[in-house]
Homo-oligomer: A and B are copies of this chain.
Amino acid sequence: MVSMKDISIACGVSVATVSKALNDHGDIGKETKERIRRIAKEMGYLPNAMARALKTNRTYNIGVLFVDEAQSGLTHDYFSQVLDSFKRAVEAKGYDITFLNKGGAGGLSQMSYLEHCHYRGFDGVMIACVDFYDPQVLELVRSDIPVVTVDHLFDNRINITSDNVGGMERLVRYIYEKGHRRIAYIHGADSSVTQARLTSFYRTAELLGLKLPSEYVREAPYRDTGMAGQVTGELLELKKPPTCILYPDDFSCFGGITTIKSRGLRIPEDISIAGYDGIRIGRHIETPLTTLRQDTTSLGFQAAEKLVSLIEHPKTTLIEQVVIKGELYPGKTVGDI
């Protein structure tokens, strides 16, 4: 690896001069600068990120916390898309991303998330898809490291959230306009997201004057086709079954579909269903899923923009909550009544 020292020797100048030339400092002669830059390029010089970081305390590296209940945010449709978008956006700004974890890196036995951040010197952290009540997450959020969270709001922290309230309202209104009056909602496990959707569901139902028997609101874990299917079965057996069922997410819908078809019912002729998320596969099945597509691209992009801004201009960056609107996908699983 060729270092600044090698270049300084090749150019007959001091290392300081090389550093200045390469970093475009003002106090350096024009032709000296160009000569140094040319020779550096010829010699295939590359800065050493570690040395630079050691001196400047800037790593141009962002930590990403990305663990879900099943310990795998990566295989989670929604979050992997957010991450993908986030990754592109920060890379365009010259940052790399590395995953945050608890297992001690570098031979250390164990580290908390915060310790991991300090150890690696992350310039900032993006947190998503996680148990936000984990003490270690709280510790991280309360630290002095720049943080943006996705889908969960903390005091005094930038947060990017999908518009669950608006999304749910639009979805329910759409179904209502299709003529449905008996709408059931199988919501996911408790979380900010679930609460937002559930509250919006109740409010919209109220607004529309729907009567909502308590049996119509059920819970099932996110992305659990088995439970979704089972609860679907129970809903279908009610004396007054719903005409439309909302699921925690698109994936869960497949559990519902299986149960529904196994009883010889047709979608949407006999019963309507709708998901939430807008995962890719939902658009590619025979009867495309009615759902609310969350704008994962914007979510990731905005998270990146805000985080980088917070890192580079801590003083002037507004601490705010950014809400990203979704889009209704009519699909074909909600029929007219």
Chain A positions near chain B (C-beta within 8 angstroms): 1, 46-54, 59-61, 71-72, 74-75, 77, 80-81, 83-84, 87-88, 91-92, 94-99, 101, 103-108, 111, 115, 118-121, 225, 251, 254-255, 257-258, 261-262, 280-281, 284-286
Contacts and interface: CB of A to CB of B under 8 A. Distances in A.
A209 to B, nearest CB: 35
Contact of A284 (B52, B77, B254): B254
B119 A47 contact: yes
Contacts of A88: 71
A115 B96 CA distance: 14
Nearest to A63: B96
Nearest to A71: B88
A46 B284 contact: no
Please indicate which of the listed interface residues A81, A120, A284 has the most CB atoms of chain B within 10 Å of its own CB: A284
Given A281-B281, A286-B257, A91 B103 contact: yes
Nearest to A76: B80
Contacts of A50: 50-51, 53-54, 59, 121
A145 to B, nearest CB: 12
Given A48-B119, A48-B121, A101 B108 contact: no
Given A54-B51, A257-B286, A286-B257, A61 B98 contact: yes
25 contacts: A46-B111, A46-B115, A46-B118, A47-B119, A49-B105, A49-B106, A49-B119, A49-B121, A50-B59, A50-B121, A51-B54, A52-B106, A71-B88, A74-B83, A75-B80, A75-B84, A75-B280, A94-B106, A94-B107, A95-B105, A96-B101, A96-B105, A254-B285, A257-B285, A258-B285
- Number of this chain's copies in the assembly equals 2
A251 B225 CA distance: 18
A99 B118 CA distance: 19
A299 to B, nearest CB: 14
Nearest to A24: B107
Nearest to A253: B284
A254 B281 contact: yes
Nearest to A225: B284
Contact of A47 (B106, B258, B280): B106
Nearest to A72: B84
Given A51-B54, A54-B48, A87 B99 contact: yes
Contacts of A281: 251, 254, 281
Closest CB pairs A-B (n = 7): A98-B98, A60-B106, A225-B284, A74-B84, A50-B53, A50-B50, A254-B284
Q: Which of A49, A118, A257 has the most CB of B within 10 A?
A: A49
A36 to B, nearest CB: 16
Contacts of A53: 50
Given A46-B115, A258-B285, A96 B75 contact: no
Contacts of A254: 281, 284-285
